[in-house]
Structures are given as C-alpha cells and as structure tokens.
Amino acid sequence: MSQSTESTTESNPFTKPGFIIAAALVVALIAATVIIFLLPKGQGNAQPAPAPAETSGSVTVSPSASAGADKSVCGLPASSEVALGSAPSSKWELVGRTAAPTDPDTVGPGITAENGFRSCFAQSPTGALYAAANMVALGGLSDEGIQKELIEKLVVPGPGRDAALKDIRTPSSADSSSIQIRGFVIKAYSTSAAHVDLAFSTPTGEYGHGVLPLKWIDGDWKLEISDAGELLNDVVQVSDLGGFIPWSGA
C-alpha cells in the first residue's frame, strides 16, 4: 500500500503481534478488507486503479501444456473470446449479504448445492469474472462447511490449499456484513488462467480492489494462493472507481 510505514503498521491488523493471519482463503480476504475500514476516509495518497487500455482484457497469460484441455465439469459452453471490455448483463442473487452474479445455463454457477455452495463456471472471460465474484461472496458466509468446500473445490491444489485446510476459520456475522462488488477489470486471460481485478465498496463508503489469479483445473476456475495459504495479492484502498468497468448488483 502507499501509506507510510508507520501508518500501515498502525492500521493494518496483519502487522500486529496478536493477529494471526488465517490460512483459509475467506479469512484472508475478509481480514484484508478490515484494513480499508481502518484507513482514513478519502486518504489522499491512496493509489487509484490503473485505467484500462482499449485492449484491456485481451492480454493473455501463457497457457500450460494442457491448457484448455478440460471441459467444464458441469457441461457449460466454452468461449473463444479473450477479452471483456464491457460489463455483462447479469442477474444477481444475494449470497449472505453480498450480491453475486448468476447465469447457470451459460456462465455459472452451473452447480448450486442445497447448502448454497456455488461452483462450475464457464471457460471464458465472463466465466472467470463470475467465478471470482462468487468466490468473494461465498467467502463472507459464516459457515465452516462452506468454507471447507471453498478451499477444497475452488482453490488450486498444492501446499497452499493444504495449509488452508489445516486452519479453517469462518468470518463472524459482523465480518460477513461487508462488501459489495462495484466493478472489474480482466487484467489477463487465456483458456488456462485469468487475473480478475475486482473493485468493491464497504458499508462505510470506502472503495478497495484486489486481483484474484485463477487457473482452469479439472473443468472449473480455481483460485491460486500462496504456499502459506494466503492471498497472493493485497487488497488495496482506492479513492474512487476510476479505471474499473462498473458492474454491481446491490
């Protein structure tokens, strides 16, 4: 973040000795948004999001040898598109207190379980966007079973997922009141990987954003996290939503 070291230390709970960063994806995300509540509103030195160029979303990330080989786990159609320069027309549903996009026949979630867990998103830029948004929404639910599913099914297999599963912590009802998605930029896309930058607002009017790196594995989008089970990218405060494509359901 751009604030001074002293300010960051005082306002960022991650720097406090008594604060243990939870390994689970959801707690890492929710805890990161707490930083935004603690920062001064309208902070002058906050970095705005970079404005997307005309080709935003068409930048590709290098595919692996088996890129795009796996079909959707629930049969959703793939797309040859590599760009998403405007907001999709979306239907939104509340997942807990966060609005999440839904188009179960073409984009996802193609599978919604009885407990509300949502998975299976199309192999397309819009599918990656929907996957990222639904992961954020699921992350706000104070249900340990859903948090375990979130890690098991929607996180890239490896040391990070293993670490997260060893320390599952669910957000409290106070934490899960939090954010609403306000915009996005697809920063990079290929059939095997995507970087989705989501902008959101807090209940007190601050804005933040974070880039979620996704990989297409076993027929669905999965979130890549660090070997320690933490988010790879910080959630950062911004003064406004300039540079993001407006997109919101609440």
pLDDT for res 170? 61
* Cβ density class 96-121: b for 16+ within 10 Å, e for less: bbbbbbbbeeebbbbbbeeeebbbbb
Using the predicted structure, report yes or no on whether residue 242 has a pLDDT greater than 70.
yes
pLDDT digits (tens, 9 = 90+) for 50-72: 433 333 333 444 443 333 458 99
When comparing pLDDT for 194 and 24, which is higher?
194
Residue 121, C-beta contacts closer than 8 angstroms, at least 6 positions apart = 76, 107, 108, 109, 110, 127, 128, 130, 131, 134, 220, 221
When comparing pLDDT for 13 and 163, which is higher?
163
Residue 59, C-beta contacts closer than 8 angstroms, at least 6 positions apart = 187, 188, 189
Report yes or no: 48 and 243 within 8 Å, Cβ to Cβ: yes
d(CA 79, CA 22): 36
When comparing pLDDT for 163 and 191, which is higher?
191
Please tell me what DSSP assigns to residue 95. Answer: E
pLDDT digits (tens, 9 = 90+) for 95-141: 988 999 999 999 999 999 999 999 999 999 999 999 999 998 888 88
pLDDT for res 186? 97
Record the pTM. 0.77
Confidence of residue 39 (pLDDT cuts 50, 70, 90): very low
Using the predicted structure, report yes or no on whether residue 18 has a pLDDT greater than 70.
no
Q: Residue 141: phi, psi to the nearest 5?
A: -85, 130
pLDDT for res 26? 43
Token pair of 68, please?
């795009």
Report yes or no: 116 and 95 within 8 Å, Cβ to Cβ: yes
Using the predicted structure, report yes or no on whether residue 205 has a pLDDT greater than 60.
yes
Confidence of residue 10 (pLDDT cuts 50, 70, 90): very low
d(CA 45, CA 51): 17
pLDDT for res 27? 46
Strand locations in the chain, DSSP E? 91-95, 98-102, 111-112, 118-119, 180-189, 193-201, 207-217, 220-223, 236-238, 245-246
